[in-house]
Amino acid sequence: MNIATSTTNKIIHSHMPLSYNEVRKLILQTLDERPQGTKVEVPNQQNYELALLDYVQQLETTMSTSIVGIADAETEPIEPPSARVAYLSQVGVNQTVTYRKFVDAQLNPITVTTDETNVAFVVLFWNTNYWQVQTVMIPAYSAGGEVEIGAVRFDIVQELKTSEQQQARENINAASQDNVDELANVVYTQYTNLTSQAVPDIFEENVETEVTLAWETKFNDQPITPDSIEVRKGDAVLVTDPDVKSVTDNISTTQEYEITAVIKGIVKAVTVTVNAYRRMYFDASPKESIESADVLGMYQQPIKPSPAGEVTVDVGANEYLWLCVPDDMTINNVTSSGFDVPMALPIIVTVEGKGNYKCYRSAGPWTAGRFNGIIE
């Protein structure tokens, strides 16, 4: 085949990005629609490559879309809930590529197919809900059926020929990597989770109690072994093994634990506090004043941080209602059936082994029966 050489065109690189149609026209003029019998000239080749590069950058700017990487059939893309991102790809001659993890509005994976004469430049867009695709088909063969060297050089990410293109590529890659890092940090932060619990989470103060502290690390709601873990009790380090999921400890006073996990490079931390409270004592007694032994002989109430709540006490004839709480707690009011229950001012009783208590007594004795009331 006789091939005539066309006049070499001056390399142009406008500062104004061309539109999609303009870029497509430039590509076709350089390749398929060039004068019959002429070669693809390097300057023309470079012109459309740079125009294509500008067009991709224009898409990134106008659509607020960040190009975050190169995609193939097995790529698992990031899908941020509030940011548009894009991946670039290329499909060779006479191939079909199914991007399995890039799902469109109909929940189908995106597929791009080329014939025997074209390759495809593919841009996959995430619109915050589903994936869309834009494909530019580029002729790859001459009229004689031979692959023309230099006819397909639009893969701006994998192969660029000139120093100007290489610099442009490096600039885009640097900016894109920053976007990837930022988006990955946002996504990973949202999708990583560290939870913990202590059993029991409250107990009686000054009574040595075994506490089990357990934690779980997750990514995208699935359990995952963290990169690292550290469980601290004050200055003491209790756990550093990422495979360990719980630890036991013996304590007698309120204790705070700090758990720090690194999950896919994201640092997560939680603080777990196991609170110790002194027990409360409620009962009825004919005595107008009581002492330590009387308090210890009353009914022990469940451990809780406040006396507020319902109270039930069986009261004998001519007995007083007695409510004894640690001296760092206060009873403001007692009601029964919606009416205030008159209470005398509290007395301070030093209870052996327990400390000082405020003991509240009903203003007068009761008739026999069951007292049901509410403490405020």
Domains annotated on the chain, with CATH: 20-161 (no CATH), 193-277 (2.60.40.10), 281-375 (no CATH)
- Predicted local distance difference test score (pLDDT) of residue 94: 86
**In 3-state terms, what secondary structure has residue 167?**
helix
**pLDDT tens-digit profile, the chain (376 residues):** 333 333 333 333 444 444 455 555 655 565 555 566 555 555 555 555 555 555 555 554 444 566 778 889 999 999 998 888 888 888 888 899 999 999 999 999 999 999 887 888 888 989 889 999 988 777 664 444 444 433 343 443 344 345 545 555 555 555 555 555 655 566 566 778 999 999 999 999 999 999 999 999 998 788 999 999 999 999 999 999 999 999 999 999 999 999 999 998 889 999 999 999 999 999 999 999 999 999 999 999 999 999 999 999 999 999 999 999 999 999 999 999 999 999 999 999 999 999 999 999 999 999 999 999 999 9
- Predicted local distance difference test score (pLDDT) of residue 288: 96
Contacts of residue 177, Cβ cutoff 8 Å, sequence gap at least 6: none
- Predicted local distance difference test score (pLDDT) of residue 187: 59
Maximal CA-CA distance, the chain: 125
- Predicted local distance difference test score (pLDDT) of residue 10: 36
- In total, the chain counts a number of residues equal to 376
Cβ contact 283:313 at 8 Å: yes
Rounded Cα distance between 259 and 261, Å, is: 7
The distance of Cα 206 from the centroid of its chain, to the nearest Å, equals 39
Tokens standing for 252?
């007698």
Neighbouring C-alpha atoms within 13 Å toward the C-beta of 346: 19
Neighbouring C-alpha atoms within 13 Å toward the C-beta of 125: 13
Q: Is the pTM of this model over 0.75?
A: no
The interaxial angle of helices 20-30 and 42-62, nearest 10 deg, is 160
3-state SS, 226-286, equals CCEEEEEECCEEEECCCCCCEEEEEECCCEEEEEEEEECCEEEEEEEEEEEECCCEEEEEC
- Predicted local distance difference test score (pLDDT) of residue 15: 41
> b/e per residue, 261-294, with b = 16+ CB within 10 A?
bbbbebebeeebebbbbbbbbbbbbeeeebeeeb
Q: Could you report how far apart the first and last alpha carbons of the chain are, in Å?
A: 102
Tokens 């103060």 appear where?
205
3-state SS, 52-67, equals HHHHHHHHHHHCCEEE
Rounded Cα distance between 368 and 332, Å, is: 25
Pairing of strands 84-91, 65-70: parallel
Rounded Cα distance between 317 and 248, Å, is: 49
Cβ contact 122:155 at 8 Å: no
